[in-house]
Chain A
Amino acid sequence: MSRRPPARLVLADGRAFEGEGIGAPGRATGEVVFNTSMMGYQEALSDPSYGGQILTMTYPLQGNYGFNASDDESARIQVRGFVVRELTDLPSHWHSEGTLDTHLTRAGVPGIAGIDTRALTRHLRSHGVLMGTITRDETAADALERLRREPVYGIEDYVAEVSTDVAYDFDAGDLGGSDGPRPHVVVLDLGVKRSIMRNLAKRGCDVTAVPHRTSAEDILALRPDGVVMSPGPGDPMLLDHVVTTARGLIGRVPLMGICLGHQVVGRVFGASTYKLKFGHRGANHPVRDEVTGRVYITAQNHGYAVDGDHLDAAVRASQIHLNDGTVEGLEHRELPLFTIQYHSEASPGPLDTEFLFDRFLATVTDR
């Protein structure tokens, strides 16, 4: 195994972990979060919702199946840095195109391996998520001093960073879909994952992604049959312009909100949002549909949540998280509108709730 340079991860409260540098040289700064999914590092690394964050995988063995071109969820690696217990240089998979280390290096993303990630997770669990920095060339004290001067996660608008600059039609490739009429779905890109668009295309939709600053009128001018408000990074309280867009769409076109899209819709209906102590990130989150009583295992990646207390009576919290009662879904009592806090497109994670795309498309084609 190649020798790796020493590196350290320093947290804003001064705790430091010594390990070895992986990926690109250089420093990385961001909010340190953990994900408990045992697989799917490639999908996670390329998920735009991790913009501005340093991602720790709690499963200790990473890079086992290398990486490949088709599992990326966006055009690049989105995390600021990557933290693992062990990153292998010896991947094995039919479709592997190389080591994850190479992939990170090429993407210019630094990381750290060899640290006690369980200790880090326990620290974040009890102190809440913290800003942190990965460095190879500073003492812990110097890194901490630098870290304290850097902007904190909560004040940055990462959506602007990860959203598309121009509108584009999603290339469905050979996903096909039905021969019948093809509904046109516009995705408001707040940090969209390819698998959301793939799920729509697979169900026979023409999909257009538009930049986050696109107004309701401009979206409606595209004559969509339905609109999906996508997931994305950061604090929804910073996104007044998106709230305005959502308000302009509701009642005029069927709408589905996912993750950040859900939080924005929540704000339209009077709810505030709040930051969770350490978020929900993983592939094992139980959500109960309050109408059917059925429980779904969902993929989640969010640090903020909708406060259900002051919701407008027009909508109801239709789904809740079994562990902490977080609002996991909203449903309008009359209009074709529902949202989910979790990721029905999974990737990575369980496919239990992919059927929600069917439910959405049913409202689209009913029109």
Chain B
Amino acid sequence: MREEGIVSVLVNSNPATIMTDEDVADIIYIEPLSVEVLERIIERERPDGLLPTLGGQTGLNLAVQLAEAGILERYGVRMLGTPLRTIRLAEDRELFRQLLTDIGEPTPDSEIVESWEQAVAARERLGLPLVVRPAYTLGGTGGGIAHDDEEYEQIVRGGLAASPITQVLVERSLLGWKELEYEVMRDGADTCITICNMENMDPMGVHTGDSIVVAPSQTLSDRDHQMLRSSALKIIRALGIEGGCNVQFALAPRPDIVPWAGSDDATVPPYYVIEVNPRVSRSSALASKATGYPIARMAAKIAIGKRLDEIKNPVTQQTSAAFEPALDYCVVKIPRWPFDKFAFGDRRLGTQMKATGEVMAVDRSFEAALQKAVRSLEISNRSMLYQDPRWSERDMLEEPIEATDERLWKLLAALRQGVTPLVLSRRTGIDPWFTERLARIVQMEQRLLSEELTPSLLVAAKRMGFGDAQIGTLADRLPEQVRQMREQLGLRPVYKMVDTCAAEFEAATPYFYSTYEEENDAVPDHHERVLVIGSGPIRIGQGIEFDYASVQAAHALQQAGVRAILANSNPETVSTDFDTSDRLYFEPLDEESVRDLLENEAGGGEAPASIVQFGGQTAVNMAGVLQRSALPIAGSSADSIDLAEDRGRFEGIMSALNIPQPPGSAVQTLAEALPTAEAVGYPVLVRPSYVLGGRAMEVVQDANELVRYFQAALEERSGPVLIDKYLEGLEVEVDAICDGEQVLIPGIMEHIERAGVHSGDSMAVYPPQNVTEEQRAAIIDYTTRMALELQVRGLMNIQYVIAPDAEPGGPGVFVIEANPRASRTVPFISKVTGVPMVKLAVNIMLGRSLREQGYEGGLWPERGLVAVKAPVFSMAKLIGVDTYLGPEMKSTGEVMGVDVRFEPAVLKALIAADLAVQPGTPFLLSLANRTKPEAVPLIEALHRAGCPLFATEGTAALVRGLGIPCEVIPKRLDEGHPNVVDVIRDGTVKAVINTIEGGRASHIRDGFQIRRAATETRIPCFTSIDTAKAAIRALSSPGSYAVRPLADYREGRVL
């Protein structure tokens, strides 16, 4: 937009993305995405146009609502990109099916269903299995494939509830058919182009977001491809879209693999149009990275009236943007699922997306791209060679291989057992082209196991994408020995450019991938340059906040006149946009790949320094590797990092500095753990060291639980476990910037939930609301001394708990954790305080002190605003996953509410997080004994707000004891109806407060049904009294909230 001289106003509720940075658009609003808020923004800004197609389904839904409310018309706002009619058409199954029929495009037999009665009739006519797709939901939320009557009822009812218009499509199942996607664009002159065609390795039945995807498609002849391409272009024309569009097809599979009716007579394989997204989508992001063609940028230009032939291809800078990218490599995308954190979740994949992120890898063969993608996943103990010991031989030979997050590994295991590729294809529907290639990988494994590791075998393995570590395991060598052997042979990867044109034209884009070939396109230049190591796939505990920091780091380097090199494996990020850095390496972020690319950059001379502070734990983990390999690190040294992470060393420093920590220590065995826990006194907080996202962290109440924790922990991993006294108090978080002499603290954040809920899942408020001057002074003092002592150069994040009772006479401030790297709060704090934290940190690494940059040490003056951060969860889609909040992080994103007072700020955060409640909302209460006393004022407040109350037996006694009427609802599902689940499902209650007794497994199970039902019905479910209190406080506070650009709040322009 800016390139075209247009003033843009951007609104989003997410503070963690680079999108809401102030230099991205001209005016930035971080406000909840609701019709009311948007109307107020439109009223204030009077824009000429509205561009909703880049904001995913959320953007489209809001645009429809704004149009239907007459707001666009009232303010004369033109809808850009996709006409309203088209948005409605593509989402309303009936209209859409009619349109496709009119233009002669085939759709699978289906019925629109708006009630359970209609669903029964549809089932009778179409027969199971059936695909259920709710209208107007994101990522297939609420849909699924029903194989039997029970599943059918569950999915249909869930889908009807999930759909904002209570409508689902029940469709004939094309299970096992090939699934293909086309990314197409159209401009106002009706020029249409295909950007990318992609093939799902997992056939129909698995959501495309959960499928392994290759680009370009591999098993289609030109005839097949042109048939689908022509269809996709016909559809985008019929829809009248000006911008990008994604069309998904099912194509008939090989009849000898998956039989289908009519295959004897067909001369061309039949196909069906499965889905059309009339907008830029997740697949568009993948297609952009896979081809180098910036779809979103072009879509924005088209939306404001540019024609494709008027735009230059930004990659070649000489040829036209009206063309179709030609790839001379193979791209593989693998989703990143959260089942390493949610061990009890249902791992089966279906039509509802479960992945939180994805990785992409590029190479000159499918095998190599696939293997690099697996390395990019960063799942510990999950190399290509991973096999679950529980998979028996019988499983491999006889059982069907269900689609789960582990299917790829199961296929490989089956091939190792001697199952043939063809048999596997028949059992899964995966085209034999793919299973044959997996078999080639297994054959190479066997050669590496049985043959001598000759140079020619090593070359062959490397060309097929085998990692040094994997070769080492198979050929009985250390990874470093394999690397040395490579070095002796001069066997190094070269780097090829992603240039949109298969080398036909010279390209300006420095976007590279590694491969074992002859010629290197990425010749190092010897300008001063620094590598920023990115954060890999989005997963729980490591979200886009870290990408924000990586992108900011690249920009800061460039502003300082240093060339920024970026390495990352995630196609969904801004850091992997080719114009974010001066050079982009799309690579796994592991030791082998990072060292290889640094050696390429060194070109025989000095390697550039690496920044490891911004890419989350992924990047921090590289510190030790770099140090061992004598590769330079910019900023805090590997030793400083280790000092903070090694519990023993850290404790030593804290006691030397006289900074209190909760009593506790690191232990190796249960025998050590029991006396330690006894000494500090229960409850204790236990966690493994060296983790991010609070993995396997638990509050343990007694010795029995500690034993259970250790049994589970020992099964999974080795290494020390930290045991600390659990101090129940106010949790406070600080980000600091240190240049070695001064320590700047941009802001202090106070958590709304007390200690025990993971900081990433807590609601948090800036500035702190309940911290005394004395405590504040202690926080500043401790932070400053700690950063200096640890010799931090750059950023640091420290978490404190304030428990005055635990330190009589002192401020009661205890250090829980310190991390010498950018935390997930960096974007939030940067935005609300205006302190460019990443930029300051980068300049410190380049040798400029805080003072030279115009900053002093100490706490940055607090602004006259209040900002509240709230977590966002994707748990509705993860069947079987519990939603209670504890020390293990579960959220996948965040939203922000900002205003001049606490109440409206928290209300906006809750609205944005879908947790807001209205006066009069009926509540279901089921409270743990321990939380009952503090719940009393809460219950009274609910009553005052006119909320009808329902409660389980014990809680009901409490409520009635307060003289407040309340209906008792049986907790057990076998004690008659309506029970707790019924009242949630049928809409009797619209919000739930459910607290649990400690972290004990049996208690957690107790309320599980309640929480799942609430999550699946999409009503607010509070598992912490603190969160509920904040929500009730916001609900009962009079007055309304402001809607203003972020800068207005920060600069005190809102009164």
Contact = CB atoms under 8 A, between A and B. Distances in A.
Interface of A: 1, 17, 34, 36-40, 42-43, 58-61, 64-65, 71, 85-86, 90-95, 115-119, 121-122, 125, 278, 282-286, 288, 293-297, 322-323, 346-352
Contacts of A36: 326, 328, 501-502, 504
Contacts of B308: 295
A71 B221 contact: yes
A121 B226 contact: no
Nearest to A288: B309
A61 B330 CA distance: 8
Interface stretch (B74-82, B317-325, B856-864, B897-905): B317-325
A288 B187 CA distance: 14
A350 B519 contact: no
Contact of A38 (B189, B216, B440, B518): B216
A40 B223 CA distance: 8
Given A58-B503, A294-B191, A349-B226, A86 B220 contact: no
A297 B193 contact: yes
B218 A118 contact: no
Given A58-B328, A285-B323, A295-B191, 15 more contacts: A40-B222, A42-B221, A58-B504, A71-B222, A71-B223, A90-B436, A92-B433, A93-B219, A116-B517, A118-B328, A283-B324, A284-B323, A295-B309, A322-B319, A323-B323
B400 to A, nearest CB: 21
A346 B226 contact: yes
Closest A-B pairs by Cβ, 4 of them: A40-B222, A119-B519, A92-B433, A322-B320
A139 to B, nearest CB: 19
Interface residues on B, range: 35 or more
B972 to A, nearest CB: 54
Nearest to B500: A284
B226 A59 contact: no
A85 B329 CA distance: 10
A61 B218 contact: yes
Of the candidates A91, A284, A346, A349, the one having the most CB atoms from chain B within 10 angstroms of its own CB is A284
Contact of B433 (A39, A90, A95, A323): A90
Of the candidates A39, A293, A346, A351, the one having the most CB atoms from chain B within 10 angstroms of its own CB is A39
A105 to B, nearest CB: 21
B221 A65 contact: yes
Contact of A85 (B221, B255, B320, B364): B364
Contacts of A94: 252-255, 269
Contact of B503 (A85, A95, A125): A125
A350 B220 contact: no
B432 interface: yes
Nearest to B330: A61
A93 B190 CA distance: 34
B391 interface: no
B826 to A, nearest CB: 39
Interface in B514-531: 517-519, 521
A350 B226 contact: yes
A322 B330 CA distance: 27
Given A71-B223, A90-B433, A125-B503, A117 B229 contact: no
Contacts of B503: 58, 118, 121-122, 125
A343 B436 CA distance: 35
Contacts of B344: none
B504 A282 contact: yes
A39 B190 CA distance: 25
B254 A122 contact: no
B365 interface: yes
A101 B253 CA distance: 24
B505 interface: yes
B305 to A, nearest CB: 14
B365 A117 contact: no
B971 interface: no
Contacts of A34: 504
Interface of B: 189-191, 193-194, 216, 218-223, 225-226, 229-230, 233, 252-255, 269, 307-309, 318-320, 322-330, 364-366, 431-433, 436-437, 440, 496, 501-506, 517-519, 521
Given A60-B330, A118-B517, A323 B319 contact: yes
B219 A65 contact: yes
A37 B230 CA distance: 16
A350 B326 CA distance: 13
A39 B220 contact: yes
A125 B504 contact: yes
Contacts of B190: 294
A351 to B, nearest CB: 5
Given A36-B502, A293-B189, A284 B221 contact: no
B37 to A, nearest CB: 40
Given A125-B506, A294-B190, A39 B221 contact: yes
A182 B253 CA distance: 38
B326 A118 contact: no
A36 B316 CA distance: 16
Contacts of A349: 222, 226
A98 B261 CA distance: 25
Given A40-B222, A90-B436, A125-B506, A60 B320 contact: no
Given A38-B326, A93-B254, A297-B323, A121 B222 contact: no
A119 B226 contact: no
A151 B28 CA distance: 67
Contact of A323 (B269, B320, B366): B320
A330 to B, nearest CB: 20
Nearest to A64: B218
Contact of A59 (B328, B436, B505, B519): B328
Contacts of B436: 90, 92
Nearest to A322: B320
Contact of B309 (A65, A115, A286): A286
B916 to A, nearest CB: 48
Contact of A86 (B326, B365, B501): B365
Given A38-B327, A282-B504, A64 B519 contact: no
Nearest to B230: A351
B522 to A, nearest CB: 12
12 contacts: A40-B221, A58-B502, A94-B254, A95-B221, A116-B518, A118-B328, A118-B517, A118-B521, A121-B503, A295-B309, A297-B324, A323-B505
Contacts of B365: 60-61, 85-86
A314 B437 CA distance: 58
A39 B307 CA distance: 28
Contacts of A296: 191
Contacts of B506: 125
A283 B328 CA distance: 13
B229 A350 contact: yes
A60 B226 contact: no
A43 B230 contact: no
A284 B328 contact: no
A366 to B, nearest CB: 26
Nearest to A92: B433
A350 B222 CA distance: 9
B103 to A, nearest CB: 15
A222 B522 CA distance: 60
Contacts of A37: 222, 326
B222 A347 contact: yes
Contacts of A322: 309, 319-320, 322-323
A190 B353 CA distance: 54
Contacts of A121: 328, 502-504
A177 B496 CA distance: 49
Contacts of B307: 293
A111 to B, nearest CB: 18
A121 to B, nearest CB: 4
Of the candidates B330, B504, B505, the one having the most CB atoms from chain A within 10 angstroms of its own CB is B504
Given A92-B254, A293-B189, A323-B320, A64 B325 contact: no
A40 B326 CA distance: 13
A115 B517 CA distance: 8
A35 to B, nearest CB: 9
